[in-house]
Chain A
Amino acid sequence: MMSRAKILCLLIGFLVLVAIPPATTALDADFYMGLAARMMIFAIAAVSLDLLLGYGGMVSFGHAAYLGTGSYAVAILAFYGITDGFLQFAVAVGASALVALIIGFICLRTKGVYFIMITLALTQMLYFLGISLEEYGGDDGINTDRSEFFEWFDLGDDTNLYYLILFFLVLSLWISWRLINSRFGMVIRGSQSNDDRMQAIGFPTFRYKLTMFVIAGVICGVAGFLLANLTEFVTPEYMHWFRSGEIMIMVLVGGMGTLFGPVFGAIAYLLFEEVISDFTEHWMIIFGPILVLLVLFARKGVWGMLPGRERGDD
């Protein structure tokens, strides 16, 4: 059971997210709607990464790969004049599943530091691939238009896009919740604490972990699909290893191994970046030490610090 404070927090948070578009339109502050949309997209990415970090014990340092794959799916199809949203979505999902399958298949044979480094290296490889895709803008990136779904649902309208992103955020949280509490999720969590024992009991943990790896990749690919739609622009930069680090930080800030933590982590991180980079261009010199302090003293993250059982709300 979740504590009352947490339930209250979630409820308020959800209502605020729902109310943002009318509120910002009324106050003529569209900028904040864009910012909130961006936060939710990174929240989706962070939620998916937490499936690996917090539950699967797979420290992937290359989660940006799927952000890039999902967004390039949109841009490349649009480049050939295919703007149908359903098709773009299907390709984004399929492509990120495939990339995750290949990367996972190679990486999951390794453990510990090897796993961290090989996920990092393979993502960096995709980044260089993106730079050399001359046809699709290479390093310059590529402009794209918003996906087209229905006549009555025009994604060109920012509010519609916003609610689509909110829908996917809720959906990805729901999927994660179902996954974690399923038998499948139990095996994954079991293998996090003792992989050998799980294997000894007779679970082929490699297959389980690979499945989880692919699911996480697909959810992050959906975040990429949404990011391409929000920015109407795709660049290899989405796959840079600093980006992977940022998503990791969001998970940590929010609280690893919690369902809702990463959402709050993404919001906190982007809000912080927004506020502090206004204040000084040397914001990294403040942010670096804060990150160190967070790791040292606030392992449970923002969400974990609220009252309630530590891992019970997942």
Chain B
Amino acid sequence: MLFNRYRRGLFITSFLAAPVILYLIYVIAPYLQAFYIALTDWRGVTATPRFIGLENFQRLFGDSKFWQAVTHNGALLVLLPLITIVIALFFAFLLNVGGPSGVSGIRGSKFYRVVFFFPQVLAVAVVAVLFQQVFRPDGSGMLNGPLMALGADPIGFLSDRGVAFWSVLAVMVWQAVGFYVVLFSAGLASIPKDMFEAAQIDGAGRLSLFFRITLPLLWDTVQVAWVYLGILALDVFAIVWVMTLQQGGPDSATTVMAAEIYRSAFGHFRFGYASAMGVVMFFFTVGFAILSLRLSRRERIEY
């Protein structure tokens, strides 16, 4: 008996050992090292960084550019999930139960389902380069070409300070929506069809179907989507770095925390300072995770 228990434990441990060790080496250890590097003035090439205490953090609190980046992450954190979820829910509803009979999708829904998923298949860097062309400010731009042909002035989607941030948000939404349409579709599929039928017999229109049946029963899935999108909004980097002017510009109008960290480390060679930013970002992310776990604690609905 004891021997069996021992073997069983050994079996489990041997399976856990590999992932735990990998996790320790490649995730936990670098985190801890970042905390240490944040307390030094390391510039990346020396073998002996100098310990300077909390100086980097003091400097960080006066760094308006970093706080601008934090504001942008904050705005994305609110807007990206909101817009994406609203659009994705709308599409998922149309594709699955929005048809005239109420239990099937609108015409051609199978085709749309595939099309909506396309952006998700593309790598983020590809999307960024693609949209650079879409947003081009001259006649070759996909959006400005027709505008200019109609005699309007071209819009500086990426070069106008007031517009650039919204362009970034639009691209992120464009890329994310497809995945959440699929996620919500799966959620919808698990709702028994008779609920929709019963509601329809009671005379519910599409609108009340959506707000009284679909949304409440999908609430769990929506929460999951919210957390995923929140994380996406906090660690956004590639879209901003590749697509925007001056990597987060024009004039810092689209910069985000990850971009500032990269710039400090690999642009200005201030690895210590960049690590301090990373530590701050770490606490923002952990804060968001705790907050979202707290808020989403809710009873499940059993069918």
- Decide whether A and B assemble into one complex: no
Contact residues of A with B, CB < 8 Å?
Answer: none
Contact residues of B with A, CB < 8 Å?
Answer: none
